Chains A and B, each alone.
Chain A
Amino acid sequence: QKEVEQNSGPLSVPEGAIASLNCTYSDRGSQSFFWYRQYSGKSPELIMFIYSNGDKEDGRFTAQLNKASQYVSLLIRDSQPSDSATYLCAVSDLGLYNQGGKLIFGQGTELSVKP
């Protein structure tokens, strides 16, 4: 059984702080890693994806991947109240140049950013 684990939270950070969200996965063959944001009552929205070990930055978001440790994280710098949402980690066994991967999701981490 392939698993993706996240702390359910809630994770509470003050406005302007760095929020750190973590995810571990069980399948060593995993190739693609995704972070989704989901506001209450809405559908998941893709924030970032990462395929290679290391860091990938996009604005205030940085995804970090360590395949040896089977660990992926999402950092949100200068957190804003509008970042308050549930963040879902997802993993696929297909890589960058493939389509049709079946994503396995973690349960999500609830983030609350306090003004």
Chain B
Amino acid sequence: DAGITQSPRHKVTETGTPVTLRCHQTENHRYMYWYRQDPGHGLRLIHYSYGVKDTDKGEVSDGYSVSRSKTEDFLLTLESATSSQTSVYFCAIATGSGNTIYFGEGSWLTVV
């Protein structure tokens, strides 16, 4: 257990509405990540953070923004949800041992 909690775990929302997913960690890790997973595409990095207020884009960042105002929380926001953002979203943290990354339980988002 890497001490990662994602919320909400499941959400259905309408096209055009804003959505925020929260990732909370309890072990003070510096690096946090948001990935999405889709059939045929595997896991793709959306955004990542290397500290409070330090974030950067991943390979599929369009339509997403992130914020990290506290070490323990990394928020992913879909400003105006589209059907193409229907996916499973995984938060992850990097631990100090061997550059390893551990995932949270995932958030299933459906945009209708």
Give the B interface residue count (CB, 8 A). 25
Chain A residues contacting B103 (CB-CB under 8 Å) are 43-45
Q: Is the CB of A96 within 8 A of B98?
A: yes
Assess the B99–A92 pair: CB atoms within 8 A.
Answer: yes
Task: Mark the stretch among B16-24, B39-47, B69-77 that contacts chain A.
Answer: B39-47
Do A101 and B105 contact each other (CB < 8 Å), given the known contacts A44-B90, A107-B40?
no
Query: When chains A and B are docked, how far (Å) is the Cα of A11 from the Cα of B37?
Result: 21
Question: Which B residues lie at the A interface, using CB under 8 A?
Answer: 30-31, 33, 40-45, 48, 50, 58, 90, 94-96, 98-106
How many A residues touch B, CB cutoff 8 Å? Answer: 27
Interchain Cβ contacts within 8 Å, total number: 64
A103 at the interface (CB under 8 A from B): yes
Whether the Cβ atoms of A46 and B42 lie closer than 8 Å is: no
The one of B30, B41, B58, B98 in contact with A102, judged by C-beta atoms closer than 8 angstroms, is B58
Q: Considering only CB atoms, which chain A residue lies closest to B102 in the complex?
A: A46
- Contact: A100 with B42, CB < 8 Å? no
Docked complex: A52-106 residues within 8 A CB-CB of B: 88, 90, 92, 94-106
Asked whether any CB of chain B lies closer than 8 Å to the CB of A32, the reply is yes
| Distance in Å: Cβ of B56 to nearest Cβ of chain A | 9
